[in-house]
Amino acid sequence: MREDVPVTMHKVIAGAVFACALAMTTGSAADDPAWPALRDGARVVLLRHAATSGGAGDPEGFRLEDCATQRNLTEKGRADAKAIGERIRAQKVPVGKVLSSQWCRCRDTAALMALGPVEVAETFNNAYTLGGRRDELSKGARAVIAGWKGPGILMVVTHGANILPLTGFQPAEGEMVIVEPEAIADGKVRVIGRIPAGS
């Protein structure tokens, strides 16, 4: 009987440690202030497209009408995009509209999230490639953001080079930046929070 006591206590302690770790993991996601803000609706999410093969821009001679000539999502990126959509549904975030850059990696991310019909919005087209039009693109993007009144959130799938001048942040691929639909000083929008890919 005495030999069984250490084994039993070992199992109890191990179970307690596992339960605590699980609670901490679940709690950290649930306590993220960005999720309640999204459930309140009328916010805007600026999502950098999911994971690609890396680098910046697109291969020389790429064409918007031909996805095969562009930098596209990897298998991980496709899985990440689906996971983002699943997480948003699990968090019961109401989605009012989904906008996307014309670039295939953005349209594919938006489609794989399966949050509703995807509308192309050229003002969110790649500001890295269209560097000469960056100010024009940012101005149009601010107008779209400021005009969003809901119901639900506005989900925008775009590029890091577009999100940077709007927020001051350079997001990772698959990262969401949640903003209020109102401008603040120097033309930037007020950032409520950020949700990394896989969170």
Looking at the structure, tell me whether residues 106 and 179 fall in a common domain. Answer: yes
User: Cis ω on the peptide bond leading into residue 6 (within 30° of 0)?
Assistant: no
Separation CA 101–CA 129 (nearest Å): 12
Looking at the structure, tell me whether residues 22 and 38 fall in a common domain. Answer: no
Q: For 9-23, 25-39, 73-87, 134-148, which range has the lowest pLDDT when averaged over its residues?
A: 9-23
Name the amino acid, one letter, at 72.
N
Residue 38, C-beta contacts closer than 8 angstroms, at least 6 positions apart: 45, 88, 91, 93, 153, 178
Looking at the structure, tell me whether residues 65 and 147 fall in a common domain. Answer: yes
CATH number of the domain residue 115 falls in: 3.40.50.1240
Looking at the structure, tell me whether residues 2 and 56 fall in a common domain. Answer: no
Looking at the structure, tell me whether residues 7 and 99 fall in a common domain. Answer: no
Looking at the structure, tell me whether residues 56 and 79 fall in a common domain. Answer: yes
- Per-residue pLDDT for 13 more than 50? no
Q: Domain of residue 11: give its range.
A: 1-31
Among candidate residues 170, 183, 199, 187, the one with its CA nearest the CA of residue 46? 170
Indicate the pTM of the whole model.
0.83
Residues 38-51 pLDDT 10s: 998 889 999 999 99
Number of domains in the chain: 2
Task: Give SS3 for 102.
Answer: coil
- Per-residue pLDDT for 8 more than 60? no
Residue 175, C-beta contacts closer than 8 angstroms, at least 6 positions apart: 47, 48, 194, 195, 196, 197
Average pLDDT over residues 139-157: 95
Torsion of CA 24, 172, 118, 34, to 10 degrees: 40
Tokens encoding 181:
């639909």
Separation CA 199–CA 182 (nearest Å): 26
